[in-house]
Amino acid sequence: MSAQAEGMVVGLLRRTWAMTWKDVTVELRARERVNAMLFFAALVLFIFNFALGPDREKLREVAPGLLWLAFLFTGILGLGHSFQAERENECFEELLLTPGDRESIFFGKLAGNVLFMVTAEALILPLFGILYNLDIWAYLPSLALVAFLGTLGFSTLGTLLAAMTAHLRAREVMLPLLLFPLTVPVILGSVRATEGILAGGGLGEVSHWLKLLGGFDLIFLVVSPLVFEFVLEE
């Protein structure tokens, strides 16, 4: 790689890290995002139990779907907050003044969102295993891989759409309304893969779902930063 290209990549990484670090430190101080996400997820897991009744077998059948419902609702909650600080303090213009490309802003925000969502998932998963009596520890590496791929895909489009809806009327409704239909491949892929893994199938059996998740992630990791600049400008 030429020196110039190398310099550009380093610059991109450094600016991305700066953006992520800013979001993380803000969260560490206020702790409102992850707290809200965790509480909501616990609530969801509990309520599903009441809604679906005491039949153990039925619950085990739908468990992967329930897990991902908890992940996704929690994720949406977190995504809704991701541009909150900028919107409230009207820092959008300041974001644009920071030297550097829009791509690093996008990746920085994305990394922060993925970090928060994965943190929440890491805490939700054991709770889920306990409440629904599932042996998640045996399959942890595979489950983690699926969770990461799904979270990445969901957060990629989620970050883009969160930036778009931050300014809108009825934005709490618009973000899920726009994001969920677009992320159906992620939802289906993640739930089916999780289902296959918990049934003891192993990664080989669910490889086509993993490929779908990987393909989705790749396509939108490339396209989203490219169109992100059109979302930020004004």
In degrees to the nearest 10, what's the CA dihedral of 134, 119, 142, 146? 110
Burial class (CB in 10 A: 0-12, 13-18, 19+), 79: buried
CB atoms within 10 A of CB 175: 22
Q: 48 or 220: whose CB is closer to other proteins?
A: 220
CB atoms within 10 A of CB 181: 9
Please report whether residue 185 would count as binding other proteins according to CB under 8 A: yes
Task: Give yes or no for a contact between 194 and 169, defined as CB atoms under 8 angstroms apart.
Answer: no
Write the single-letter amino acid at 103.
E
In the chain, count H helices and then E strands.
Answer: 11, 0
**Shortest separation between residue 91's beta carbon and other proteins, angstroms:** 17
Give the Cα separation of 71 and 208 in Å (integer).
Answer: 22
Among 42, 140, 188, 203, binds other proteins (CB under 8 A): 188
Among 162, 189, 193, 198, binds other proteins (CB under 8 A): 189
Give the Cα separation of 46 and 49 in Å (integer).
Answer: 5
Please report whether residue 221 would count as binding other proteins according to CB under 8 A: no
Encoded one letter per residue, x for contact with other proteins by CB under 8 A and - for no contact, window 125-164 reads --------------------------------x--xx--x
Assigned token pair, 226: 């490219």
Site for other proteins in 193-212 (CB under 8 A): 208-209, 212
Please report whether residue 170 would count as binding other proteins according to CB under 8 A: yes
Q: 91 or 223: whose CB is closer to other proteins?
A: 223
Q: 43 or 218: whose CB is closer to other proteins?
A: 218
Q: 47 or 227: whose CB is closer to other proteins?
A: 227
Q: Give the residues lining the site for other proteins (CB under 8 A).
A: 157, 160-161, 164-165, 167-170, 174, 177-178, 181-182, 184-185, 188-189, 192, 208-209, 212, 215-216, 219-220, 223-224, 227, 230-231, 233-234
